[in-house]
Amino acid sequence: MSARAEAYATALFEVAAAEGKLATVEAELYRVASAIESDASLRSVLGDSGVELARRLKIVEKLLGDRAHNVTTQLLSLVVGTGRLRDLPGIVQRLVKRASDESGLVVAEIRSAVPLTPAQQETLVAALQRRAGRPLNVKTVVDRSLLGGVVATVGDEVIDDSVRTRLDQVKGLI
C-alpha cells in the first residue's frame, strides 16, 4: 500500500507543481481528505465500486465545485476513479510531506475538538514553531471525538493534551 500511495503522491505532486499550484492543491486536498475521512457516508459512497463511476465523479465535482482549484478536483477524481479512495489519507499525507520538504517546512497537524479562532491558531503555530525551531506547514483538523483540548503532531512528535486521552488514562487507572 505505501509504495502505491507513494507513487500516487509523486504523481499528484508532479501535476500540481507543473501547474504551479502546489501549495493550493496540497492544502485543498488535505482539507478534502480530512472531510472525507470524518464523513462515513461520503466515504462509503465514493469508495463503493458498486456505485456508478459517473455518479461518484459527479459527487466529487459537486463537493468541491468552485471552492477548490480545478487541478484539485481533477486529482481527487483520479483517485476516486481508480478506486483508491481508501488510500487517500496516506496519499495526501505523503503529498503534504513532499511539498513541505520542497519548501523547507515541517508538517504540523493541529487537531482540536472545536474550531480554532484565528488568534488561537496564531498562538499555537507560534508556540509549535518555536518548539520545532523551523517554519511549519500547519494543517488544522476539527475532531469532535477528542471532546476537548488539542493534539498536535509536528514531524514525528505527537503532543497529546486532549480530554479523550485523559479520560482514557483515568479509565485505565480504574
Produce one character per residue of 139-169: b if its CB has 16 or more CB atoms within 10 Å, e if not: bbbebeebeebbbbbbeeeeeeebebeeeee
CB of 37 to another protein, least distance (A): 22
Torsion of CA 36, 41, 44, 47, to 10 degrees: -40
Cell numbers standing for residue 144 = 469532535
CB 156 to another protein: min, Å: 14
Q: Which among 5-13, 25-33, 84-92, 119-127 is the span making contact with another protein, rule CB under 8 A? A: 119-127
List the grid coordinates of 119.
Answer: 488568534
**Residues 129-158, interacting with another protein (CB under 8 A):** 130-131, 133, 147-150, 152
Backbone angles phi and psi of 141, in degrees to 5: -135, 135
Paired residues of 92 in beta bridges: none
Q: Which set of grid coordinates corresponds to residue 92?
A: 495526501
Name the grid cell of 15: 501535476
Q: Give the x-and-dash track for 71-110 against another protein (CB under 8 A).
A: ----------------------------------------
The answer to the question of residue 174 lying near another protein (CB under 8 A) is yes
- The residue from 58, 127, 134, 155 that contacts another protein (CB under 8 A) is 127
Give min distance, CB of 23 to another protein, in A: 25
d(CA 106, CA 77) in angstroms, rounded, equals 28
Asked whether position 116 contacts another protein by CB under 8 A, the answer is yes
Q: Does 161 bind another protein (CB under 8 A)?
A: yes
Q: Which residues bind another protein (CB under 8 A)?
A: 112-114, 116-117, 120, 123-124, 127-128, 130-131, 133, 147-150, 152, 159, 161, 163, 167, 170-171, 174
